[in-house]
Amino acid sequence: MKRVDHSFPLPVFTINKNFIIQSYSKEAEDHFVLTENFMDLFDEGSLSKLKKWINPEVKKVTLEVQLKPYGNASNPVTCDLHVKWNNDLHAEVLLILKDDQMERVTTMMNQLRARLNDTNFQLLEEKEKLEEALELNNRLSAPFITLTPDTALIPLFGDLSLDKMDVIEEPLLHRVNQGGMERVLLDFTGVGDIPKDGAQALKSLTASLFYMGAAVVITGVRPEQVPKLQQIRFPVDVSYLHSLQQAVSRYCLHYDPSSS
């Protein structure tokens, strides 16, 4: 087996029908102690479920399974497993660890809160800087708005810098996965410049969303932004609509709850 570069910022594996790992991403290598057999990663209680559903006859499936404890974990770790067979021999598998990001953020905030309890003047200055940084982070983060049970809106604002895309990518993927969204509207009405590194991050984001089963619709693109979006060469089909109003009319105003 070998390590390969993937556009997804998550653990990704390529396996064969005998569950032998053919390749894996850097994130997979960073998270796990890898062996030849993909099944070695999972808790015994999840093995029968995995063997039942991971086969070429089920072309695409999402499973909630338990990983063996790893790193600092003492108990099995819950994850969502997204499997897509490219052919009858090989499948690509994407792992999303549940609440992993929230645990990291909570730990960091608890550590900072403990430090800021000290009334030392220097720490008060640090507290002010932290509050300013958090405020800036909130401004840069794109809001996640649920329009219908299967459609979400992400209005983007300002320049699509690499830093901004890094801030929004993981929480966005988590919310889409958590809500089981089938469609994500990326509204460019408030977008300014699209630098090259930010465009590549946008390409990675759309590929991850598609792999998770969500269609991507881009709205509100201005004429001067079209050439930059064309240069991105998205690895998957991305739909375009002239305005957010068109998208809402098409996907939300005529939404039938009984069809979901």
CA atoms within 13 A on the CB side of 80: 19
Token pair 């709850």 is found at: 257
Q: What are phi and psi of 158, to 5 degrees?
A: 75, -170
Give the CA distances from residue 2 to residues 25, 26, 57, 115, 227, in Å, rounded to whole numbers and listed in that order. Answer: 9, 10, 26, 43, 36
Q: Measure the CA–CA gap between 257 and 238, rounded to whole angstroms.
A: 25
Q: Measure the CA–CA gap between 130 and 117, rounded to whole angstroms.
A: 13
Whether residue 19 is predicted with pLDDT greater than 80 in this model: the reply is: yes
The CA R_g of the chain, rounded to the nearest whole Å, is: 21
3-state SS, residue 142: coil
58-95 per-position pLDDT tens digit: 999 999 999 998 877 778 888 889 999 999 999 999 99
Give the CA distances from residue 34 to residues 75, 113, 198, 219, in Å, rounded to whole numbers and listed in that order. Answer: 18, 36, 32, 41
Token pair 């220097």 is found at: 122
Output the pTM of the full model: 0.52
Q: Measure the CA–CA gap between 185 and 194, rounded to whole angstroms.
A: 18
Query: Can you give the pLDDT at residue 56?
Result: 94
Whether residue 102 is predicted with pLDDT greater than 50 in this model: the reply is: no
Query: Can you give the pLDDT at residue 108?
Result: 55
Q: Which strand ranges, in their side-by-side order, compose the sheet holding 215-219?
A: 145-148, 151-158, 183-191, 215-219, 239-241
Residue by residue, DSSP assigns 88-116 as: SSEEEEEEEETTHHHHHHHHHHHHHHHHH
Query: Can you give the pLDDT at residue 125?
Result: 72
Q: What is the DSSP letter of 243?
A: -
Query: Can you give the pLDDT at residue 114?
Result: 67
147-193 per-position pLDDT tens digit: 899 999 998 888 888 888 888 888 889 999 998 999 999 999 888 89
